[in-house]
Structure 1
Amino acid sequence: MFEFVEITLFLLLISILFTSQLLHLVDITLDFLGAPSIMDRGRGGMLGRIPRRRNPLFRRRDVSPPNFTTSYEITPEDALEVRDILSEDRNLPPELVDMILEYAEYWACSVAVLDCADRPDGRISIRGGGQGENQFLLRTEPLGLNKWSPLSHDLWKTQSAPKSLEKEYPESNLHEFIEGPVSTLEHPFRKVVFDIVSCDQGWSSHHDDYGTYRNSFTWFDVGLERFDMNNECPPTCSDRQNSDSSSKTANIPTCAIRSVWPPVINDTSNDSAMKYKHELLPTEDHCIQRNKHAEKNMQHHHIEWSWDDNINPELPAANELEEIGRGRSTGNGEFIRNLKFGDMITVWGRARFGGWSNNVQSVKVKLYWAF
C-alpha cells in the first residue's frame, strides 16, 4: 500500500515538473506570432476529440526566397537524459517511464519556419491561372539526422529537381548521421504540427461561401522527399560534398533529394525531361489546409496530425475535417506512421483559376519523435 501511495505521489510530482513543457506546447499562438525567421531542428483522434485539439489546422520570381535554418528544441540527448533520471535515479520500471514521457509529450522536436516578414509586403502571393500557381515553400531537415547539413543553402531553399527516386538509403546507412540515441520504436514519429498564417484575395462571386472553406481554391499541400542513393553529384554542383574524411559535413548532397509526393512524371513535351505532377484540386490525403473563402484578413490555422489518429475518411466523422478546411483523409494517421528516418516533409502553396490568390505570411512545421 505504501509503495502504491509513493508511486502516485511521484506521478503527481512529475506532472507538475512537466507543466511548463506542456504549456509551451499548447501556447502555440504566442510563440508563433513572435517567431524569428528561422527553421529550427526540432495526438488527434476520434471525432469527439477534434474540438479539443489545438485548432486543427513563390516566392515571386523577382524576389529571392526567404531564409530558413534549422536547430533543435528538445534534443534526443535531452529525452535520453530524462529517461535515465526516471529509470535509474528513481528506479521506475521502463513501462512507467514510457507512460510519463508520453503523457508529457517529452519528445525530440524538429522545427521548420518560413517567415516573410522581411519581404517588402510581408507576404508571398501565389496567383492562380499561371505557371506560378504551385509554389514550393519549405522543407524540414531529414528527420532525425541531426548531423546532416547542406553545404548550399541556395539549393536547400528551392524545390528539388524533378527526378525519379531510384534507390532509397537503407536505414542502417543513415544512422551515421544521427547524433545521440536512435529510436527503437516501430512508429517513432509521433506528431507533426502545422501553423499557417495566410488568406486568399478577399473576394469572389460565390457570396454564399464567404467565411467557409467551401469552394476555396487556395490551399496548402504536404509533400514528402527522400535521398536517392543512386544520385551522381556533378562536378559543377554547388553542394558537392568534401571527400576529406576529417570533414564534419555529411556526405549526402542536397542534389540527391527526390520528391515522393508530388510525384514526378515524364514530360510529354520533352521526352528526355521529367516534371512534377500537380493536381488541379486539393487531394484528400495531402491537403493540409484550405484558406477561408473570400477572407481578406490573415488567418492563423493550427493543424495537428498524430500517429494515433484514426478517423476513417469513408465515415461521416471525416466530414468535420472538410468543414474546417482539411483533407478528409488527413485524420487517419497514415502519413505520420509511414515516416522514416531521413524523410523530408515539404509544404506547397497552391492557387487555382484566374482571380484567386494565396497570400502567405508564414508557415511553421514541427515534427516530434519518441525513443
Structure 2
Amino acid sequence: MKDRLTAQKLLLDLKKVLNLSHDVSPELANTILDYAHYWPKVASNGPGTVVSAREEDELNSAEVLLLTPTMEELMGPGDFTIREVRFKLESHDQGWATFGDSPSRYLPSWTWFEAVIIRDPRHNASSPETDAFVKEALAKSRRGREDKSSVTTVRNPHASAGLGEDTWDIQRKVRASEVFVSHEVRFKEDNEDVASGRTPGRVGNDDMTGAGSGDGFIGALEKGDRIAVVARAK
C-alpha cells in the first residue's frame, strides 16, 4: 500500500511539473517508474557462519547460507517481473596466504559466494525438514561428493558443462584478510547484446572487484524457483 501511494504521488508531481492537462497514461507511468527503478522490494536474510576448507572435505567446503522461499511466495500471486536481485554480504578471508603480491586484492582468493537456482517442485514448500535436505544436497554437490545433486537446479546458460555449471559467482573475498568487508552485488537483466546471443555472457568474477556479472541469472528465474546463496572455501 505504501509503495502504491508513493508511486501515485510521484506521478501527480510529474503531472504538475510537466503542466499536463490529463493524467499520465498507464504505459507511460510504468515506463517512468521502471526507468527510476521504483520497484516493489522483498528481502530474505541469512545468519552468519564460519566456512573453512576442511580436511574431511578434501579442502573443498560449501555451506548454504540462505535459501529463499519460491519467487511466487516472496512476491505474492499474480504476474510479476523480476528486474534485479541484490546480494549484501559481509565476510572475510582466512587471513593468511602463501603467495606473494598480486595486482588485485581479490586475486587469487579461494573463498567466495555463489548463487544457485533451485527448480524442483518436490522441494517448493519451505519447512525445516525440506530446507535442511535441500541445503545438505546442495552442499554435497558443491563439494563434489555427488556426481549429480539430488535436488534439481537450473543450469547457467553461459557456464561450461560439468561441476559448477549450475552456479553464478556472486563475490570473491578480499584475499588474506581478517577484516570484515561489506560487498553489495546486483544481478540485473541481461543487456540486449547478451540476451540476443550477439555477445557471450560472462562467468566467474571480475579480477579487480571480485564481483560476478550475474549474466543469465535474472532471465533464468521463474515463479516456482528458489535461490540459494552458498559460501565456498578451497
TM more than 0.5: yes
RMSD: 4.5
Q: Distance in 2 between matches of 1:223 and 1:98?
A: 30
Q: What is the match of residue 210 of structure 2?
A: 325
Q: What is the match of residue 134 of structure 1?
A: 62
Q: Distance in 1 between matches of 2:52 and 2:86?
A: 26
Q: Distance in 1 between matches of 2:120 and 2:31?
A: 34
Superposed displacement of residue 295, structure 1: 1.5
Greater Rg by CA: 1
Which of 89, 113, 118 is the matching residue for 1:220? Answer: 113
Q: What is the match of residue 158 of structure 2?
A: none
Superposed displacement of residue 323, structure 1: 2.5
Superposed displacement of residue 139, structure 1: 1.4
Q: Distance in 2 between matches of 1:314 and 1:301?
A: 22
Is residue 42 of structure 2 the alignment partner of residue 110 of structure 1? yes
Count of residues paired in the alignment:
206
Q: After the TM superposition, which residues 1-371 of structure 1 pair with which residues of structure 2 at under 5 Å, given as runs?
A: 78-79=3-4, 82=7, 86=11, 91-116=23-48, 124-129=49-54, 130-131=56-57, 133-146=61-74, 178-179=76-77, 181-183=78-80, 188-209=81-102, 212-228=105-121, 267=146, 286-309=168-191, 312=199, 321-327=206-212, 330-332=213-215, 334-352=216-234
Q: Distance in 1 between matches of 2:110 and 2:133?
A: 33
Counterpart code for 1:288: I
Mark the CA change 1:146 to 1:95 in structure 2 (over 3 Å): closer, same or farther.
same
Q: Distance in 1 between matches of 2:93 and 2:162?
A: 17
Contact preservation (8 Å) 1:222, 1:348: yes
Q: Which runs of 5+ in 2 are unaligned?
A: 16-21, 152-160
SS in 2 for 1:95: helix
Superposed displacement of residue 192, structure 1: 0.7
* 1:122-148 CA distance string (max 9 Å, x none): xx221114338111111122113249x
Q: Distance in 2 between matches of 1:295 and 1:256?
A: 33
* 1:64-85 CA distance string (max 9 Å, x none): xxxxxxxxxxx7x845994699
Mark the CA change 1:91 to 1:324 in structure 2 (over 3 Å): closer, same or farther.
same
Superposed displacement of residue 320, structure 1: 8.2
Counterpart code for 1:339: L
Superposed displacement of residue 313, structure 1: 5.1
Contact preservation (8 Å) 2:64, 2:139: no
* 1:152-171 CA distance string (max 9 Å, x none): xxxxxxxxxxxxxxxxxxxx
What's the % identity of the aligned pairs? Answer: 25
Superposed displacement of residue 348, structure 1: 0.4
Counterpart code for 1:127: S
SS in 1 for 2:207: helix
Superposed displacement of residue 207, structure 1: 2.1
Q: What is the match of residue 26 of structure 1?
A: none
Q: Distance in 1 between matches of 2:183 and 2:132?
A: 32
* 1:305-332 CA distance string (max 9 Å, x none): 10144664578xx8982321134xx353
Q: What is the match of residue 155 of structure 2?
A: none
SS in 2 for 1:100: helix
Q: Distance in 2 between matches of 1:86 and 1:346?
A: 36
* 1:224-252 CA distance string (max 9 Å, x none): 113425x7x9xxxx779xxxxxxxxxxxx
Q: Distance in 2 between matches of 1:137 and 1:192?
A: 16
* 1:18-56 CA distance string (max 9 Å, x none): xxxxxxxxxxxxxxxxxxxxxxxxxxxxxxxxxxxxxxx
Superposed displacement of residue 86, structure 1: 4.9
Q: TM-score, normalised by structure 2?
A: 0.67
Q: Distance in 2 between matches of 1:319 and 1:266?
A: 22
